[in-house]
Amino acid sequence: MSPSYDVIVIGLGGMGSAAAHHLSARGARVLGLEKFGPVHDRGSSHGGSRVTRQSYFEDPAYVPLLLRAYELYEELERATGRDIAILSGGVMVGPPESRTVSGALRSATEWDLPHEMLDAKEIRRRFPTLHPYDDEVALFEAKAGLVRPENMVAAHLQLATRQGADLHFEEPVLRWEPYRDGVRVHTAENTYTAGQLVICPGAWAPQLLTDLGVPFTVERQVMYWFQPKGGTEPFRPENHPVYIWEDAAGVQVYGFPAIDGPDLGAKVAFFRKGRVTTPETIDRTVHEDEIRAMADHMSRCIPDLPGTFLKAATCMYSNTPDEHFVLARHPAHPESVTVACGFSGHGFKFVPVVGEILADLALTGATAHPIGLFDPARPLPRLRSSGGTPTAAAPARGARP
């Protein structure tokens, strides 16, 4: 017999856990199916911190979604008592014409977001750990900061369970198909039917969404933790902003205050610049030359940061060719399937609002949130082949599109 639900959610990582919460909060009978355990580190939603910001250099179209996401961070904190967001303030640093600075300024101006422009001298005065070149500037946003990915996923799973959702872990979906006026989903244990399917596959999008028509590239990313020279005090969130720092060659690095206590250091990572991979073949070992490259890069911008290397971890981006999300009804199954994927390394800050949008789309077929940019049928540049054939050398991803 096939157990039957209103909505099945495939994948209970960042986006899927939020969808399970918002759907069950609206009274839907929800089944969530997840390949791994709750709050795991095999996908894209782990590592203790994610930058959040509103002056969004990628495109001003993201700003209204961010304003809503910030409201939902607070709701989630109130509902679960978990730490979700730490708004330490943030700087977008680089040459004035860099995408990081000019794009952030464009969003701040178009949406009238509170911000300050700092020249190099003022950056050094306000944030003595930062060592910009004289011709670098920063957009400072007091509301930027970080969100805690594991806490947010756990909070959404906790609320979904409380609201009656059935969440099955260690139960990978083998395949799904349209069935009568809904869908049928197969796992090794069972076959389930539902009126609606929401697919949040992260880096497994190429496997679960073969007929979506979007060429995804899965990229291996590394997060590094260093114990700063002289200790973490100047790096505490009261003293230190999150930062995204673009150099003259277009290479972006981003990092965080020291949020986990005096001995656990501060995290830093390259934004993009990763190797193409697949979830099955990703190299989880972080190599000496990678650690050295990061320490060398940071010794120019934040010389006190790369004191002692503490640890590193890998994670995956699932990129679309234009690095904008895919968030829509599935064009081949518009009556019964909704997809959220291709978050291209910048999706986590949107998790709660994506959950809300997925609930809107699955339960009513439409949403009032502006998601036109995320249509899978938009014209996409064919920059790379899909499917992630691992490449031998790390291609530099610094060049801006």
Contact residues for ligand FAD, defined by CB under 6 A: 10-16, 33-36, 43-45, 47, 50-51, 172-173, 200-202, 204, 208, 221, 223, 269, 315-317, 343, 345-349
Question: Is 10 labelled a binding residue?
Answer: yes
Measured from the CB atom, the residue of 34 and 246 that comes closer to ligand FAD is 34
Cβ-closest residue to ligand FAD? 13
Question: Is 125 labelled a binding residue?
Answer: no
Question: Is 27 labelled a binding residue?
Answer: yes
Long-range contacts, 252-259 (Cβ 8 Å, 24+) = 252/100, 252/398, 253/294, 253/297, 253/298, 253/301, 254/51, 255/298, 255/302, 255/305, 256/49, 256/51, 256/146, 257/86, 257/88, 257/146, 258/228, 258/232, 259/48, 259/49, 259/86, 259/146
Helix (H) or strand (E) holding 295: helix 288-301
- Cα 272 to Cα 32, 141, 250: the distances in Å are 30, 23, 11
Question: Is 124 labelled a binding residue?
Answer: no
CB of 398 to ligand FAD, least distance (A): 17
CB of 211 to ligand FAD, least distance (A): 15
Q: Taking a C-beta distance cutoff of 8 angstroms, is the pair 104, 387 a contact?
A: no
Question: Is 35 labelled a binding residue?
Answer: yes
Counting Cα atoms < 13 Å in the Cβ hemisphere of 300 gives 14
Measured from the CB atom, the residue of 160 and 315 that comes closer to ligand FAD is 315
Question: Is 14 labelled a binding residue?
Answer: yes
Measured from the CB atom, the residue of 25 and 146 that comes closer to ligand FAD is 146
Measured from the CB atom, the residue of 93 and 316 that comes closer to ligand FAD is 316
CB of 362 to ligand FAD, least distance (A): 15
CB of 102 to ligand FAD, least distance (A): 20
Q: Which residue has the tokens 């969003």?
A: 107
Measured from the CB atom, the residue of 14 and 95 that comes closer to ligand FAD is 14
- Cα 334 to Cα 185, 186, 375: the distances in Å are 17, 20, 12
Q: Taking a C-beta distance cutoff of 8 angstroms, is the pair 112, 264 a contact?
A: no
Q: Taking a C-beta distance cutoff of 8 angstroms, is the pair 144, 241 a contact?
A: yes
Measured from the CB atom, the residue of 45 and 196 that comes closer to ligand FAD is 45
Question: Is 97 labelled a binding residue?
Answer: no
CB of 148 to ligand FAD, least distance (A): 11
Distance, C-alpha 278 to centroid of its chain: 17
CB of 149 to ligand FAD, least distance (A): 6
Q: List the binding residues.
A: 6-36
List the binding residues for FAD. 6-36
